[in-house]
């Protein structure tokens, strides 16, 4: 499944190709398109942690968050 339709409209998404060099598809969503034309892009490290997420519309970045992790975790 790569999308869903709701009363708000059509949502489509793509999955991350895998973590830690794995070639199997994962359940980590890397791109989510929203009905209003905006989209969310997520990045993942090799452990499946999300170090960054960006919400963008057709003109500019609306919001973003970048995370750092404790090396011991």
Does the residue 62 lie in any domain?
yes
pLDDT (tens, 9 = 90+) of the chain, 73 residues, equals: 789 999 999 999 998 876 655 555 567 889 999 999 999 999 988 778 889 999 999 889 999 999 988 877 6
Count of domains forming the chain: 1
Q: 42 exposed, middle or buried (CB, 10 Å; 0-12, 13-18, 19+)?
A: middle
How far is residue 51's CA from residue 64's CA, in Å, rounded to a whole number?
Answer: 11
Count of H-run helices and E-run strands, the chain = 0, 6
Structural domain that includes position 44: 3-18+26-66
How far is residue 45's CA from residue 43's CA, in Å, rounded to a whole number?
Answer: 7
At residue 25, the pLDDT reads 54
Does the residue 73 lie in any domain?
no
At residue 21, the pLDDT reads 56
- With a threshold of 0.85, does the pTM exceed it? no
Does the residue 71 lie in any domain?
no
H-helix or E-strand spanning residue 52: strand 52-56
At residue 64, the pLDDT reads 95
Does the residue 72 lie in any domain?
no
């Amino acid at each position: 499944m790569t999308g869903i339709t709701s009363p708000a409209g059509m949502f489509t998404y793509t999955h991350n190709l895998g973590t830690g060099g794995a070639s199997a598809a994962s359940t980590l969503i890397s791109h989510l398109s929203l009905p209003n034309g905006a989209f969310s892009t997520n990045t993942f490290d090799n452990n499946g942690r999300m170090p960054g997420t960006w919400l963008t519309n057709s003109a500019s970045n609306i919001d973003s968050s970048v995370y750092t992790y404790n090396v011991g975790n």
